[in-house]
Amino acid sequence: MSTSEPAEETLASVVMVDYGLGNLRSAMRGLERAGADVTISDDPATFDDADGIVLPGVGAFSEGMENAGPFREALADAAADGTPVFGICLGMQMLLTSSEEADHAGEGEVEGLDFIPGRNRRFDEGQKVPHMGWNELEVERDHPLVEGVDGGYAYFVHSYYAAPDDEEAVVATTDYGIDFPSVIANEAGNVFGTQFHPEKSGETGLRILRNFVELCADQ
């Protein structure tokens, strides 16, 4: 476990889950700029005292879920207690029930965290994958995470997209041949994710990270 230097004006204490996947340092720096005191931790016990939890991630869904297995119960407890849980990229996809990615890789059904019922789907044939680069966010409904970012551009790298069972789980969409969900949230509003990388998304991403930290501070 390693701990970053506290932000000059610390608004909230955030734990970033270290389960072996993800660009933790880049996300940590973005969160610090947004006013968070960030702890990178591989110990689920640290979730108890956190104002918010970040589940980052890059790579394959099946590997992500295998690595995140020891954290599943602690994440579920935190989500049930109302702690903000923020999934980024693969971390967002892991919030759903399952993914076509495991089927595509011949690994069969791999269960996600199931905090937001739904399935991750692969972009259709004919759409260039991965979807990589800057694209626009269209906010579909109110949520504290997307305050002030409608029409902003964010940075994406992914071949699969979230397809929640409930349309109300879709907070923002992005056009890539189809309008896919780029921000999702659970019914209670405390579990949410972005398909893009806010730490790589300039001012739009920093605004989202600030919104997250403020949401944590208000808990």
From the candidates 32, 158, 197, 216, give the one annotated as an active-site residue.
197
Show the tokens assigned to 87: 């999934």
From the candidates 32, 131, 199, 216, give the one annotated as an active-site residue.
199
Question: Is 216 considered catalytic here?
Answer: no
193 three-state secondary structure: strand
From the candidates 89, 101, 158, 216, give the one annotated as an active-site residue.
89
Q: How far is CA 68 from CA 18, 96, 99, 115, 199, in A?
A: 9, 14, 15, 14, 21
Cβ count near 64 (within 10 Å): 27
Question: Is 197 considered catalytic here?
Answer: yes
Question: Is 214 considered catalytic here?
Answer: no
Show the tokens assigned to 136: 């626009």
How are beta strands 179-185 and 170-175 bridged, if at all?
antiparallel
- Supply φ then ψ for residue 81, to 5 degrees: -80, -5
- Spatial separation of the C-alpha atoms in residues 166 and 174, rounded to whole Å: 17
Q: Which positions are annotated as active-site residues? A: 89, 197, 199
